[in-house]
Amino acid sequence: MRKELYLGRKIYLVLIFSFLFSNTIFAQIDGEELYKTNCTACHVMTDKRLVGPGLKGVTDKYSKDWLKKWIINSQEFIASGDEKAIAIYEEYNKQIMPAFYFTDEEFDALFAYLENPPVEEIAEAVVASTEQVSTSNKYLPIIILLLILTISYILLILKNKLKSSLGEATESIPQTFYNQYKLFISNKTNLVFTGIIAFVVISNFAYSTMMGIGVYTQYQPEQPIAFSHELHSGINGVDCNYCHSSARHSKHSGIPSANVCMNCHTYINEGTDEEGTKEIAKIYEAVGFDPDSRTYIEGYTQKPIEWVRIHNLPDHAYFNHSQHVVAGQIECQECHGPIQEMEEVYQYSELTMGWCIECHRESEVKMEGNEYYAKLHEELKAKHGKEVFTVEEIGGLECAKCHY
Amino acid sequence: MINKLIAILFLSIIISACNNQSGYEYMPNMYRSPSLETYSTNTYFKDSINARLPVEGTIARNYLSTFYFDGDLEGYLQSGKFAKNPLEINEKNLKEGEALYGMFCAHCHGPEGNGGGSIGHPIYSNIPHYNDKKQIRRTGKTMSELKAGHIFHSITYGVNAMGPHSSQLSEDERWKLVMHVQKLQKLE
């Protein structure tokens, strides 16, 4: 009974509210839709310029009649000799705004929207916790060692105190250590065990050090610009090939030249936080771009962005990206790991010869529907009477394939 | 006794396994030879950049351009009138065009060419639809009526908030893309 009453009240409230807001909502949807489908390719709702000027307060700066004339056919309007129109045409490098034939009702809706744009919610910056877990891990062994030393020190003092209260001879702390040590080495089993431990530790250390020569797994140098693959590739979903476009054509996957950055960052000048904006400004510094006027500075000496190389094969090994990406149809991630989750890139694979060979032994060549292998596949099928071939079986282990 | 031995072996392996340092080089000349690599520094040039720009006007083999229109509005209108796709429209080219579209366009224009790509930035959030029949563009026509030459011109020189993509795509690749975009223009 109570529940019903409550529900009834809720519906009643909803009805009242929808009645109150219905008029304004319907008028706004129209204007907003017009704005979004027609204007946002070149304008934003702030005072920042995109392709054209920002539209904040545009209805205060110009009369509605003036705006109508401009929007319906700006070219004609400029030709008619209107001063304001010519001024804005000149200011924006003679970019032409296309003509929009809106009806009067549509204009009213659009202007109503432009006069009262929705207030954008300011996204709360997520404050990253400044606590660094990694540093506390680093000092952990030292802390444990100190703790053990303090405890043994206290125990030794206690022992001495007890001994002196019993009237026995006490010994200093170094003396205790020395006596214990003598006791320890007097036992042969102890010596053998210590010897074994020392041998295993040292040889394991030597082995892993030698196997690690020239291996840069986990290598993560600091780059000149804190470019985040996680943001660009993972969150924004930009394909690897967009920036590394030469991976399909050449030996190198290619570091994108700054003009590729500028395809988007001509217009995206601000990062998600202040740090991001600073990083974007580094591209502008390299190419000589003024983000306020959105123009390139004339006569600017451009500087290369000196990225630090992470993956480096020794000179005596040949590797070709296009061979693996186009003919082999391997995903980038198979060798480079989860790049789309890396805030800062590190070397994922070992890039040792053993690693290459293992993959060539195990992977099956994607020959089905692959134009590159069409002829070879037919011949191999006829010769061996099977469908699937590994890289090894088509000569992927021959020395001269990579060393010549 | 044997149990003790095994325990000690395990213990010592755990202790020594804490070593994760890497990057020693034995005979670094084998890794970093004096021959110049693509992105290495080259002290023979004043700016020490080894990746040089080709001499202006250089044409790479097999890259002779069939597209000779300027980047301005006039060139845009002209290319719409006169530029023809030199490639045959067949299944293979269309398939390659679709793959290229996924790499170079879909993150802004969306997989169907109606916006809604994965880039969430407000500036790239309202992208004109290829099949739009309402909004008049600089040609005096709508998006769905744009000709192959217009599309090729836009990819080559950029338009509005889209930058030029000629450095990332060869002309053949661009024409393949045009084929796919023309297919998307016809989507309802």
* pLDDT at B18 (0 to 100): 41
Return phi, psi of residue A224, to 5°.
-65, -30
The number of C-beta contacts closer than 8 angstroms across A and B is: 146
Chain A residue closest in CA terms to B102: A239
| Shortest Cα distance, chain A CAs vs residue B114, angstroms | 11
Average pLDDT over chain A reads 82
Q: Does residue B38 form part of some domain?
A: no
Q: Does residue B14 form part of some domain?
A: no
Nearest CA-CA partner of A50 in B136, B126, B107:
B126
Could you report the per-residue pLDDT of A280-299, keeping only the tens digit for each? Answer: 999 999 999 988 888 889 88
Q: Does residue B152 form part of some domain?
A: yes
Of all residues in chain A, what percent are helix, strand and coil, respectively (each to 5)? 55, 0, 40
| Shortest Cα distance, chain A CAs vs residue B85, angstroms | 22
Instruction: Provide the number of structural domains found in chain B.
Output: 1
Given the structure tokens 């065990």, which residue do they identify?
A: A193
Q: Does residue B60 form part of some domain?
A: no
Let me know if B14 is exposed, middle or buried by CB neighbors in 10 A (0-12, 13-18, 19+). Answer: exposed
Report the residue from B24, B117, B163 with minimal CB separation from A209: B24
Is it the case that residue A303 has pLDDT exceeding 90?
A: no
DSSP string, A294-339: TEEPTT-------PPP-----TTS---HHIIIIIS---THHHH-SG
Helix (H, G, I), strand (E, B) or coil at A37: helix
**Pairing of the two strands A289-290 and A295-296:** antiparallel
Could you report the per-residue pLDDT of B101-136, keeping only the tens digit for each? Answer: 999 999 999 888 888 888 878 788 778 888 888 777
| Segments in A53-132 forming alpha helices (H) | 58-61, 64-72, 74-79, 83-91, 104-115
Q: Does residue B39 form part of some domain?
A: no
Give the CA radius of gyration of chain A. Answer: 36
| Shortest Cα distance, chain A CAs vs residue B98, angstroms | 14
Residue B96, domain extent: 74-122+129-185
Nearest CA-CA partner of A100 in B135, B161, B126:
B135
End-to-end CA distance of chain A: 88
User: Residue A14 — pLDDT band, cuts 50, 70, 90?
Assistant: very low
* pLDDT at B12 (0 to 100): 56
Residue type for B34, please?
A: P
Helix (H, G, I), strand (E, B) or coil at A404: coil
Q: Which residues of chain A neighbour B118 with C-beta distances below 8 Å?
A: 236-238
* pLDDT at A122 (0 to 100): 46
Contact B121 A266 (CB under 8 A): no
Could you report the per-residue pLDDT of A371-388, keeping only the tens digit for each? Answer: 889 899 999 999 998 888
Q: Does residue B6 form part of some domain?
A: no
Distance CA A44, CA A51 (A): 9
Q: Does residue B175 form part of some domain?
A: yes
On whether the CB atoms of residues A332 and A220 are closer than 8 A, the answer is no
On whether the CB atoms of residues A308 and A223 are closer than 8 A, the answer is yes
User: Residue B17 — pLDDT band, cuts 50, 70, 90?
Assistant: very low
Distance CA A16, CA A10 (A): 10
Q: Which residues of chain B neighbour A307 with C-beta distances below 8 Å?
A: 39
Contact A257 B167 (CB under 8 A): yes
Residues with Cβ within 8 Å of residue A163, at least 6 apart in sequence: A169, A170
User: Residue A20 — pLDDT band, cuts 50, 70, 90?
Assistant: very low
CATH number at residue B78: 1.10.760.10
* pLDDT at B23 (0 to 100): 61
Report the residue from B4, B23, B39 with minimal CB separation from A216: B23
Report the residue from A99, A304, A312 with minimal CB separation from B136: A99
Q: Which residues of chain A neighbour B137 with C-beta distances below 8 Å?
A: 98
In this structure, is the dihedral angle defined by the CA atoms of residues A161, A163, A168 and A169, taken in order, positive or negative?
Answer: negative
| Shortest Cα distance, chain B CAs vs residue A203, angstroms | 9
Whether A220 and chain B come into contact, CB under 8 Å, resolves to no
pLDDT > 90: percent of chain A = 29
Write a three-state SS string for A173-219.
Answer: HHHHHHHHHHHHHCCHHHHHHHHHHHHHHHHHHHHHHHHCECCCCCC
Contact B25 A216 (CB under 8 A): no
Section A105-129 average pLDDT: 64
Task: Note whether ipTM > 0.95 here.
Answer: no
Q: Does residue B110 form part of some domain?
A: yes
Host H or E run for residue A290: strand A289-290
End-to-end CA distance of chain B: 80
The predicted model scores a pTM of: 0.70
Is it the case that residue B81 has pLDDT exceeding 80?
A: yes
Contact B30 A193 (CB under 8 A): no
Is it the case that residue B15 has pLDDT exceeding 80?
A: no
User: Residue A201 — pLDDT band, cuts 50, 70, 90?
Assistant: very high
Of all residues in chain B, what percent are helix, strand and coil, respectively (each to 5)? 40, 5, 55
Distance CA A237, CA A229 (A): 10
Distance CA A70, CA B127 (A): 22
Return phi, psi of residue B24, to 5°.
-80, 145
Inter-helix orientation angle B73-82/B148-157, to 10°:
140
Given the structure tokens 């392709």, which residue do they identify?
A: A51
Q: Which two tokens stand for residue A188?
A: 């042969």
Is it the case that residue A200 has pLDDT exceeding 90?
A: yes
Would you say how long chain A is, in residues? 404
User: Residue B9 — pLDDT band, cuts 50, 70, 90?
Assistant: low
